Amino acid sequence: MDDDDELVEAWESAGAKILVLAEAGVLPGRMPVVRYLGLKAAPFYRIVLDVLVDEESRLGLQLSTATITQRVTERLEQATGGAVDCPPVAKLLEQLYEWGNVDRIHNTHRKGSPQEYLRQDYLYQMTPAGTVVHRELARIDQELGMTGALQASMLPEVRAALVALVAALGEPKAEDRDRQAYIAFTRVVNGFTQLSENAKLFVQGLNRSLNLDSAEKAERFLAYKQLVVDYLQTFSIGIAKYAAGIAEGIEAAEQRGVLAALSEIAAVEAAPALGVSTEQAAARDAEVMRARWLGLRRWFFPDGDQQPVVTTLADRSVEAISRIMTTVRQLNEERFRRVNRKADLVTMARWFSAADTDVVSLWRAGFGLYPARHVGAPHPVETEIDIRPGIGWWEGVAPPISPRLRTQGPRASGGVASRLPNQGKAKKLLREKQRAEDAAVEAAARSLAGRSPCLLSSLTHLPAEEFDLLLRCLDVALARRAHDGVRYAETSDGLIRVTLRPPAPDDTATITTPRGTMCIADFHITLEDMGSAL
């Protein structure tokens, strides 16, 4: 037996074990109730299920095959505006019955003869599994068409809920304390769950709106783009305003022992289940609440190499504004390129021609279109022919127009088309310029890293490249949240890792550069050149 046969045998053995576990309910198994989604007739299956679900929503119990067929036909005709060839509804229902989407009983009502009684006729209704799956599909269809919202107004609500949670945790242990803590915890988590889902939908809807596939859609986009920009700016301002307060609330709740109290809080609303004790249900709910709290914490605190979620959303808001501005600029460029200036001039000439003499004089003075139209074909300088604007066409000298132009008009000359210019030289110059700039930045990074750790006051004179790099490092470091007064950051290109320690009181540093002098607090800075480390 070769290696391939051994792999196949091992896979079949493992697959058989997995199927046994799936049948036992230990692992997720196959779901026949969603099998119709991969078929070509999926739209017809979904319409049949729509009819049955609508009947349930009207507090109906079951429908006959004939009634279902009639309602399906009406829906198809209403949607398409005419007759549609539909597969036999009875066969669709029979297949759905085999998959477990619908249940049926024999229809024994209104039978006038033994033949009608023996004829296969059923009353159909949705099964619980079929109802859940179909309603989830309807919800997914609805959410795919939603644009979502960033909901900056949720941030103060979450902050208030955190304040209530901290207050509840500070009370003596009692049943009322756990209940108040549970209510506040639920408000916090539900607010952020809704905020994250709607933010994701908003970004996706914005991406769809930026996909401009028609001129009409582009015009609508230009009309509402300012509203979108204002909306994104409002969300960014809301994050900057409330993020620090929410982060402080999270830290205060953790100091009050929210993680240790989750088991007691979860026991308040632990739902009983068959074969599961109340303690087990509370422990299960406590693990879910712990995972949600840690997810909430990742919104405002970094998790390893991942930056906080609010920072990511703020960055995406800024990126969206930039994309909108870029799209507007592209649309304006396309609109200008589509302008037919020759047609516009001809139209204006007709307007002026239909006007009185004074307006025609204005047209001629503005565009230089005098009666001597041959002024557009100048005579050679050596002829010393001076044709004044007031000289008419018949009074002046004939313009120097070639016989070929008179007979054939303006035509393109034959032969080989002009060659496109070679951009290789320009690209080479750009590459050399980029390499020189990269080398200057790397040299500046090595120079600054070689002089650190140090105080800013020791960097008295800096070249322009080193000064620009120092400003970048200070920018990213000061934007970070301080931990025990120390800020850790890294430049966006990963070139330098920065450690910034607080300055002594009233100590300042003065740095002289070719562009001027900068005064700043005398921070203690450590710069690590990551490029040389690689």
Which tokens hold the place of 514?
A: 């070719």
Interval 65-124: pLDDT, tens: 888 888 888 888 887 777 778 888 888 988 889 888 898 887 766 555 665 555 667 888
User: How many Cα atoms occupy the beta-carbon half-sphere of 45 within 13 Å?
Assistant: 23
Residue 469, φ and ψ in degrees, nearest 5 = -65, -40
Tell me the β-bridge partners of 63: 124
User: How many Cα atoms occupy the beta-carbon half-sphere of 267 within 13 Å?
Assistant: 13
Residue 498, φ and ψ in degrees, nearest 5 = -115, 135
**pLDDT for position 210:** 56
d(CA 136, CA 144): 12
* Chain-centre distance for alpha carbon 47: 32
**pLDDT for position 143:** 54
The CATH T-level fold of domain 150-331 is Methane Monooxygenase Hydroxylase; Chain G, domain 1 (1.20.58)
**pLDDT for position 496:** 86
**pLDDT for position 432:** 92
Alpha helices per DSSP H over 174-302? 175-209, 215-255, 262-266, 278-300
Q: Is the CB of residue 289 less than 8 Å from the CB of residue 265? A: yes
Mean pLDDT by 10-residue block, N- to C-terminus, for the chain (534 residues)?
52 56 51 79 87 83 85 84 81 89 78 60 85 79 51 73 84 76 82 66 58 56 64 70 83 85 79 71 84 83 79 72 74 62 73 73 65 51 60 66 69 65 82 90 88 88 89 88 86 85 87 88 88 58
d(CA 33, CA 24): 18
Q: CB-based burial of residue 403 (10 Å sphere; 0-12 exposed, 13-18 middle, 19+ buried)?
A: exposed
Tell me the β-bridge partners of 496: 529
Nearest to 499 by CA among 440, 454, 468, 447: 454
pTM reported for the whole predicted model: 0.40
Q: What is the DSSP string of 171-207?
A: SPS-HHHHHHHHHHHHHHHHHHHHHHHHHHHHHHHHH
Interval 250-296: pLDDT, tens: 888 888 888 888 888 877 777 666 666 777 877 888 888 888 888 88
* Chain-centre distance for alpha carbon 376: 55
Architecture of the structural domain at 24-126: Orthogonal Bundle (1.10)
Helix (H, G, I), strand (E, B) or coil at 274: coil
Where in the chain are the domains? Answer: 24-126, 150-331, 427-529
**pLDDT for position 280:** 80
**pLDDT for position 177:** 79
